[in-house]
Amino acid sequence: MPNSIERVLQAALAAPFYFGQILIQKTSTGGFVLSHRDDEGRNDLQTFRSTEDAIDIAKYDDAGNYRPLKTAPNLRRGWRLELATLAELKCALDYFYSGRLDVFVAWKSGQLHTTPLRQTLDRQSGMYRIAAKISDEQADRVVGDFCRSDGGCLRTILWKRDTRGTVSSTKLPSEKFDPDFDQAAARAPSSACAEATADKTTAATIPLLCQEACNLLIAECRKVVKGE
């Protein structure tokens, strides 16, 4: 798997590419530069040079609030991460979006297994067992709100609601389930991002894929059941 990931990265680096809210570019010396995709063209960014710096960069949003969901569209801006090797790049991207490169490689090779929401809920235990009692209507609403790319999560949903293949939420647009669609481009633009785009880099995209409901979504389902 590690070698497969490096092959994917090498292929992607034929040109700049987006990974969630991150723009990755290869330098003339063979290194790599990562930055927030909305900071392209800025020359006032704070420079970092260690893979571990990615942990701190990803920890808080621009307002200083902790980011429990790292694939939420609230990665802070104002930084530039310079790395020397492909191994460092892979490590840093995993700090930003844990496990997403592995999932992408598994999907590309046809080996990714997805888990329906109902199956994920049914295997919960302890205080989260009650989440399985959520109704289809409630689940449709919760997933539609929690997982939306605009303000929720930038992952592309590959799982279904149940084993019958029911769509995870009718509240989400069809693009939310399309790996070829750039989810980060679907978020509502903020005033801070209202900059001229004529000189922006045209970049490919490696999607953040979601093969099963995350723990935070399970917690939301539990909250709805407990509340009603």
Query: Residue ranges of the domains in the chain?
Result: 2-108, 117-227
Q: Write down the pLDDT at residue 198.
A: 42
Cα atoms in the Cβ-side hemisphere of radius 13 Å centred on 24: 27
Helix (H, G, I), strand (E, B) or coil at 10: helix
Q: What is the mean pLDDT of residues 106-124?
A: 96
Is it the case that residue 127 has pLDDT exceeding 90?
A: yes
27-60: b or e for each residue (b if 16 or more CB lie within 10 Å)?
eeeebbbbbbbbbbeeeeeeebeebebbeebbee
Res. 201 pLDDT band, cuts 50 70 90: low
**Lowest-pLDDT range of 1-10, 38-47, 196-205:** 196-205
CB of 147 closer than 8 Å to CB of 72: no
Instruction: Note if the pTM is more than 0.85.
Output: yes
At 129 the three-state DSSP class reads helix
Domain 2-108 has CATH 3.90.1530.10: no
Candidates 36, 6, 228, 209; CA nearest to 130 is: 228
| Residue 191: per-residue pLDDT | 41
- Sorting pLDDT into bands at 50, 70 and 90, what band is 218? very high
In this prediction, residue 192 carries a pLDDT of 43
